[in-house]
Amino acid sequence: MATTTYMPEVVTEYAGGTVAREQVSLWRDGLRRLRRNKLAVVAMGFLAFLAVVTVVSLFWTPYPPNAIGTCQGYTFPSPKHLMGCDDLGRDLLSRVMVGSQVSLVVGLATAFVVLVVGVVVGLVAGYMRGWVDTVISVIINIFYGVPPLLIAISLYVLLGASLVNIIIAISATVWMDMARLVRGQSLSIREREFVEAARASGTKTSKILFAHIFPNALGPIIVQATFIIPIAILTAAFLTFLGFGVPPPQADWGGIASEGFSALASGFDPYILLFPAIAISLTLLAFNFFGDGLRDAFDPRQKR
Amino acid sequence: MRFSRLKLGGTAVGLLGLVTVAACGSGGGSGSSSTSLAATQTLKFPVYQPPGTWDPGEADAEVDTELMQNIYDNLWRFDNNLNIVPDIATAVPSTSNGGISSDGLTYTIKLNPAAKFNNGDPVTCSDVLYSWSRSVDLQGPYASNLSAIAGYAAAQTAAGAPPASSSGASGAQTFQGNIETMLASQVTAGSGSFIPSGLSCSDPETFVVKLAGGCGWCVTAWTLEGSTGAIVDEKAIKGDPVNWWQKPVTAGCTDCMVGTGAYYLSSFDAKQGYVFKAVSNWWGSPKPTLTEIDIDIHDPSAINSDVTAFEQGHYDLIGYGGNSGNLTYELIQSIKGGRFSSDLLTQPKGRTTWLSFNVGWNATGGPFLGESAQAKGLRKAFDLAVDKNGLASQVCYNVLCSAATGGLITKGLIGYLGDGADPLSQYDPTMAKQLLQQYDPQGTLTANLKYSYNTGGINDKVAQYLQNEWQTNLGIHVSLNPDSNASDFISNRLTGKYVMSRDGWQFDYNHPQDWFDNLWGYKATAAGSNTSGFDDPTYDSTLKMADAEPLSQALPLYNQLSQILQQDVVYIPLYYLVGNFVIAPYVKGAGSNTAFDYYWNNISILSH
Amino acid sequence: MLNRGTLIYIAQRVVLIAFTVMVVSFGVFVVVHSLPGNAFISDRLHGKALQLLLHQYGLDQPVVIQYWNWLKGAIHGDLGISLVTRGAPITPIVLKELSVSAMVGGAALLVTIGLGVTFGVIAAIRQNTWVDYTLTTFAVIGYSVPSFVIASLGILIFANWLNNVSNGAFYYPLPWQGTYGGGGLSTLISLSLPAISIGLYTSGQVTRITRASMLEVIQQDYIRTARAKGLKSRRVTVRHALRNALVPVMSIMPSTVLGILTGVVVIENIFTIPGLGKEFVTSITQQDYNLTVGVFTIYAVLIGFANLIVDLLYAVVDPRIRY
């Protein structure tokens, strides 16, 4: 799952950090490189489309997504119901549209939680060093010592069925990559002259961490956060597919796919599985291509 | 299927299976007209739940009792039509045949001298005395089937709780071991504190039971197989009082699963499966034809593969062992559309599902609590807003269940009120809306309601259906509280931590007492199983009278109990479960009734 | 190879693994025991009868004491008893399930490395051609499409469309259980779909790393020298470059192993393969405490030693690394 787990710790050194103009041009260069990457641009286009669908689904769907009996159960796709109907006679297009909410919320919220937790833990470990670093590293290694999906399922079962708990459960399995990355950055940046200068002039530790070290590690952190989104969406899909999902009647792609799978496995037409499967695959592809583009653009020293 | 075909090509037996099944299937499913027996008399089928325990004193799950009815005997057994017929006893006691004394309190039961354990030992009265006392002492989930016997509570107190020094599994050894040691010597002596005072032997073949009071349901409850009334062998248990039931039978074993039934345990693997074999020279009748029963334990999600395996001849039937609810609608449709459609067997099961309101848990109850006109009116509104027939057709496609319109007791059982006889089964959205307007005009009482249920099977769909009905017909959003942890759901229900909850009952034996004692009123409260918290003095006094009377006199009283529950709108009736089996045409004598699968010793494999 | 320093290193790592396993098993033990309810409760079994049973199995004791009792057994290889099938010993059950999962996981590992390295090398040799673009895009697709989608597609094609022998019901042989016969070739065939479903995901990362490190190595002097000497390009690549290019590939193996284990959990549940992953989901919903803890423990041991082996192999592949 965690595709970036155990990646060699590539410490990207940024040219400056002290000179503001230099940073601005770095960002501008990066954006230009990103625009030239065709796959990344297409991916961004799809993600924008997905965002629109998600927002629209909050206010409008062709049919009420949870209304039972808008059509006959297992209606094959037709002009009236573009994706057909599920076993309870609910319009599948409406449900797939609404399902994007869960995926996007899980992806973005997890990335945010991991960003906060990973950055704080990583900065502290890297800057403090000593026993703090040792303890944090041991904890990180323990989390790497168990399959992440098992941790997520255990936490889900412990906490109960809700969207928030899914986000917590998934965050608990992907925060380590971010923490390791930030720790590495923090370890190297703390040795630089401008940090030493700040330290010598008596600046508070928290200010050094967030005003000096953090901004200089921002590039790789953002790239890493982008890759956490598809991992979170994928893990959520696994969880809901295995029956550990959001409480019904809320539609989510993994859950619809799971219903579709049991129909498929008993010899029914595969369309119920097909549409959420395509939706989830395209979303993950888009996030991964976008992340790749972002990395190539803003983190040029990191090898593909 | 590409895989399976290649695989079959690799194994001659498998290929043979495919060819022969194809031959049977192409016969239009009219069944094999041949009556000659096949050379190999092995029945192979999957079950979808691992065994819990096969100790009759502790057994709980249906999957276990369904198997154990073939391994153990009670004094009587149910025939395929649920009538009580003699088994180890020579007659079913009644006042007319002298088995029951004129005051109705003393039962004199003659034992069949031919009855033998499958290790060859004869069954004597002291074995019955031992088995029943042991069941009382162990205080397992079905101990209450023996609760009308004089001295029941005193014996349980004497057996007591296990000593506090327990650590891990050794604690189990101590408690059960203690019962074995004490009980064995007391049975030899003929009496003792671990033996209920009402049980005794007047001679080695006459068992005498004295009751504490009148009991119209006792013989039925004692007949429940694989449970507390079953006869077990003290000699086989003493070697391993805890785990003897999972040890295959070997010659002269002193720690294995010895019973009196037509089959014995031959091999056991807790996760994979087990094999039972026919007892040679079995004492009872009919003599077993099947020589071996081969059972695989699968996960319920393997049902799709298993059906195909059935079609290719690897299994002879699916649905036995209390697993007739596992075939999904999609799968049944697939089978119906194919050449195995005639192998499908549909059999309504004695299981009713309803919705319980929290009516009696003051600490946790919501707007439905109590007997005020308002609470009753709101309960009625929520009941009338649900289209029960719609549920059966939209969720069950009228295949997996039927609408519960004839009361709580399932159709086909004693106490069923008749189709459409339950006023709560009506669907009247207009009336529902009126009631809601009358009793909750502001909508404040019915805001933030939750429906609790355990996930799995069709429960998710039923919950979504109910939610949709209330939304459509009452305009009320009820949120769903699914629990993937079934034991958490049960304990919440048993402690009243819900407002509306999925509820249901799988009957144990065909007597209304099984329902009205265990689910509502003072007895259920005392047993800790009164999930709705329903408490009503008229209900309690009527129940007391009904339980003491013979069935014919008791039935009108039990019907009054139904009416009390209906008038008070304690529940919303939902559906009766329908069991679905696939049985190969060459398996003769296999089938099922509302309670259990037909006995193995009635089944034979025809040549095919 | 196995000098004193290496042995000390191995000993240190083993201690670390033991520590991790203890922390993990304790954590899981606490989590599963703090779940509401228990394996026994039912409509009939509650109240006093339930208390008796909990007491019999020592489940009414403080969790720490229960863990201590469990640990004493676990050190001797006894992972306790099942509570669902009361009294059945766990160790033989999980070992059998481990062998099943290992078969699935091993096959997936073969697919991962086979596909990943092959594609990575080809992409590097044909850098910046359509072959390269296709393969690298394929790699991203590989880890973007969830394994259950690939598995479903496989079932659809192989079971429902190509081989519609029955009424279309999906039949997946389970040779591990001996249920439908099987063994030999049939095992191999029935392993292929799960292995590919898992392996496509993990091979994507391997493809990318192989490609990147191959490119780096190809630029290096000794390859240029070898080429200058007139050796044919492909043989040069295979002989000289691949060995060095594999070092970074080794570095992502722990992540690959985790990815495969996760894939195995999902795939076992889809195909109802009776392995550890299936057992985990079943046991945690049925609250068969010892089985859940047992599965976690075995995974922790497995991952610990897998990482150790990878690190040792690292030293073999790259002589510069010493422990």
Could you state, in order of their start, the residue ranges of all structural domains in chain B?
51-244, 348-578
Helix, coil or strand: residue B202? strand
pLDDT above 50: residue B136: yes
**Is residue C200, in this structure, part of any structural domain at all?**
yes
Q: Do B455 and A243 touch (CB under 8 A)?
A: yes
pLDDT of residue C2: 65
Please tell me the distance in Å from C122's CA to the nearest CA on chain B: 31
When CB atoms are compared, the residue of C81, C96, C185 closest to B10 is C185
**Does B151 have pLDDT greater than 50?**
yes
Domain of residue C107 covers 91-278
Mean local confidence (pLDDT), B349-360: 94
| Domain membership flag for residue C313 | no
Residues of chain A in contact with residue C252, where contact means CB-CB under 8 angstroms, are: 6-7
Interface of A with C in 190-229 (CB under 8 A): none
pLDDT for the residue numbered A298: 77
**Neighboring chains of B (3 or more beta-carbon pairs < 8 A):** A, C
Which residues in chain B have their CB less than 8 angstroms from residue A266's CB? 304, 307, 328, 330-331, 333-334
Q: How many residues does chain A have?
A: 304
Q: Is residue C82 part of a domain?
A: no
Identify which has the larger pLDDT, B600 or C179: B600
- Pairwise CA distance, residues B347 & C248, whole Å: 62
pLDDT at res. B34 = 61
On chain B, the residues whose CB falls within 8 A of the CB of A267 are 330-331, 334
Determine the pLDDT at residue B10: 28
Residue B168: pLDDT above 50? no
Mean pLDDT of A217-223: 85
pLDDT value for B263: 96
Averaged pLDDT for residues A214-241 = 90
Q: Is residue B502 very low, low, confident or very high in pLDDT (cuts 50, 70, 90)?
A: very high
Q: Please check whether residue B315 is in contact with residue C180, taking contact to mean a CB–CB distance below 8 angstroms.
A: no
Q: Is B506 helix (H, G, I), strand (E, B) or coil?
A: strand
Of A32-46, B583-597, C207-221, give the range with the top mean pLDDT: B583-597
In this predicted model, what pLDDT tens digit does every residue of A26-53 receive, in sequence order? 778 888 888 888 889 999 999 999 999 9
- CATH number at A30-303: 1.10.3720.10
- The minimal CB distance from C170 to the residues B11, B50, B308 is found for B308
The verdict on a CB contact (< 8 Å) between C278 and B299 is: yes
User: With pLDDT > 70 as the criterion, what percentage of chain A qualifies?
Assistant: 90
Confidence of residue A14 (pLDDT cuts 50, 70, 90): very low
Query: A1 or C271: whose pLDDT is higher?
Result: C271
B residues 366-425 lying closer than 8 A (beta carbon) to C: none
Q: Which residues pair with B294 in a beta bridge?
A: B44, B275
Tell me whether C45 touches chain B (CB under 8 Å): yes
Distance in angstroms (rounded) separating the CA atoms of residues B423 and B436: 18
CA distance B572 to B408: 10
Q: Chain B residue closest to A247 (CA)?
A: B482
pLDDT at C223: 64
- ipTM topping 0.90: no
Question: What phi-psi label fits residue B443: left (phi over 0), alpha (psi between -120 and 50 degrees) or beta?
Answer: left
Residue recorded with tokens 């050190």? C75
Count of A–C CB contacts within 8 Å?
148
Flag whether pLDDT at A7 surpasses 60.
no
The helices-and-strands tally (H runs, E runs) of chain B is 19, 18
Please provide the average confidence, as pLDDT, over all residues in chain B: 88
CATH classification of B348-578 is 3.40.50.800, yes or no? no
Mutation to test the A interface, candidates C166, C213, C262, C286, most A Cβ within 10 Å: C262
Q: Residue C26 falls within a domain, yes or no?
A: no
Instruction: Give the bridge partners for B317, in sequence order.
Output: B583
Q: What is the model's pLDDT at position C224?
A: 67
Nearest CA distance, C307 vs chain A (angstrom): 9
B19 pLDDT band, cuts 50/70/90, is very low
- CATH of residue C141: 1.10.3720
Contact B394 A73 (CB under 8 A): yes
The most confident of the ranges B18-32, B104-118, B237-251, B304-318 is: B104-118
Window from A13-22, B158-167, B496-505, B583-592 with minimum mean pLDDT: A13-22
Min Cα–Cα distance to chain C from B255, Å: 14
Residue of B35 and B310 predicted with greater confidence: B310
Q: What pLDDT score was predicted for residue C187?
A: 64
pLDDT averaged over chain C? 83
Reference B436, options B446, B428, B447, B427; nearest CA is B446
What does the domain layout of chain A look like in residue ranges?
A: 30-303
**Tens-digit pLDDT profile for residues C65-97:** 999 999 999 999 999 999 999 999 999 999 988
Distance from CA of B145 to the nearest CA of C (A): 11
How confident is the model at residue A21, as a pLDDT?
Answer: 53
Among residues C280, C277, C286, the alpha carbon closest in space to that of C147 is found at C277
- C-beta separation of B131 from B232 below 8 A: yes
Tokens of A35: 């625009």
Q: What is the pLDDT of residues B423-432, one digit of tens each?
A: 999 999 999 9
Write phi, then psi, for B277 (nearest 5 degrees): -125, 155
Assess if CATH 3.40.50.1010 describes domain B51-244.
Answer: no
Residue C3 confidence class, pLDDT cut points 50, 70, 90: confident
Q: Is the pLDDT of residue A57 over 50?
A: yes
> How many domains does one find in chain C?
1
The b-or-e profile of B495-505 (16+ CB within 10 A means b, else e) is ebbbbbbbbbb
Contact C285 A265 (CB under 8 A): no
B485 to A157: CB separation less than 8 angstroms, yes or no? yes
- For every residue of B519-539, DSSP letters joined together read HSHHHHHHHT--TT----HHH
pLDDT in tens, B436-493: 999 999 989 999 999 999 988 899 999 999 999 999 999 999 999 998 888 889 999 9
Q: What is the mean pLDDT of residues A238-246?
A: 91
Q: Is A257 on the interface with C (CB under 8 A)?
A: yes
Q: What is the pTM of this model?
A: 0.89
Query: Would you state the pLDDT for residue A171?
Result: 95
Residues of B with CB under 8 A from a CB of A: 301, 304, 307, 328-331, 333-334, 390, 394-395, 397, 455, 460-461, 463-465, 467-468, 472, 479-485
Q: At residue B12, does pLDDT exceed 50?
A: no
CB pairs under 8 A between B and C: 228
Q: Which chains have at least 3 CB atom pairs separated by less than 8 Å from chain A?
A: B, C
Cα(B460)–Cα(B395) distance, integer angstroms: 10
User: pLDDT tens-digit profile of B179-232?
Assistant: 888 898 899 888 889 999 999 999 999 999 999 999 999 999 999 999 999 999
Contacts of B460 (CB under 8 A, 6+ apart): A248, B453, B482
C249 compared with A111, residue with greater pLDDT: A111
pLDDT at B13 over 80: no
Over the stretch C155-190, which tens digit does the pLDDT of each residue have? 777 766 665 443 333 445 444 444 444 455 566 667
Phi, psi of A142, deg, nearest 5: -65, -40
**Chains A, B: CB pairs < 8 Å:** 64
Query: Is C301 within a domain?
Result: no
Is the pLDDT score of B420 beyond 50? yes
